[in-house]
Every structure is written in C-alpha cells, then in structure tokens.
Amino acid sequence: MPPTFLIFLGLIVYLGLTMVTLVVFVPMLFINSKRLLAKKVIASVVISYPCLIVMGIIWTIIFVIPALTFSWLANAGYISKTPGIILAIIGLLIFAGLIAISSLYLWYIASRIIYYRLDKKLINDFLEKDQVFKYLKPYLIRLKIYHSEFPGSP
C-alpha cells in the first residue's frame, strides 16, 4: 500500500460527499428563500478537504526535522527499541491530533468568514469575538498576514 493511499481514499470520500451535496443543494439555488442556505452548505463542503490538506502540509513541514532526528537516533542505537516504539507512537498520535484539530479549526474559521461574506456582514465582528484569533492576532500582524484595517471596514 503506497503512503499516499489514505490521502487518495480521503479524496474519493470528499468527491463523493461533494457530489451528493451538489445534487441536493444546487436545485435549492433556484429557490430564492433557500439560496443563501444552499451557498453556505456548498461552500462548507467544498473547503473541508483542502483545509485538511493545507494543515497536513504545514504540520509535516514542522515535524519533518524532529522526525528525521528521532529516526536517526533510533536507528543508530541511542534509543532502545521499546522506548523508541512508545515514543514513535506518541509522536504519531500527537502529529495526527494536531492535524485534525488545526484543520477543523481552519475549516471553522474559513466557513465563518464565508458565511459573513455571504450575509454581507463585517468579518471583523466575528474575528474580534474569537478567542483563538485574539491570541494569534499579534503574531499574525507581526508576520504581516493580518492587518488591523481592511478596506471598506469602518
């Protein structure tokens, strides 16, 4: 089984879910009272898998050096077999947990931003209430990813 099998399997499930969503919600786009709901559901489903892939890539980049170092230490005999296996399992669980948690949070943030855009509300109203964003805001400003003022905001 190739190492990308789970990603491929996830893509197949994602495409199936997207097809079912499109079959159910595209006809709702033609009903004025249900148009906004249909747009929100379709947008939520479409961004789910890309959020998982993006966070998987980011955490893989972060974890690659520690994983290679651990592998070198274990193969060179500096870490005995039983503690090495335990540490490897713990590391793998932490890695998978971080990917799952951060991708779900990215999906939540992206969905909320899309919902606010569709409702024609200011995104800053949502972002200022979010506790995690309040914590990350100074770092995002320092990295020039987030600006305090957006064009068109009061």
Question: Is the per-residue pLDDT at 23 higher than 70?
Answer: yes
pLDDT digits (tens, 9 = 90+) for 71-94: 999 888 888 889 989 999 999 999
Query: Residue with structure tokens 């947990």?
Result: 97
Question: Hunting for tokens 């651990």 — which residue is that?
Answer: 70
pLDDT at 148: 64
* Per-residue model confidence as pLDDT tens digits over 29-71: 999 999 999 999 999 999 999 999 999 999 999 999 999 999 9
pTM assigned to the model: 0.78
Residues whose CB is less than 8 angstroms from the CB of residue 123 and which lie 6 or more positions away in sequence, other chains included? 113, 116, 117, 150
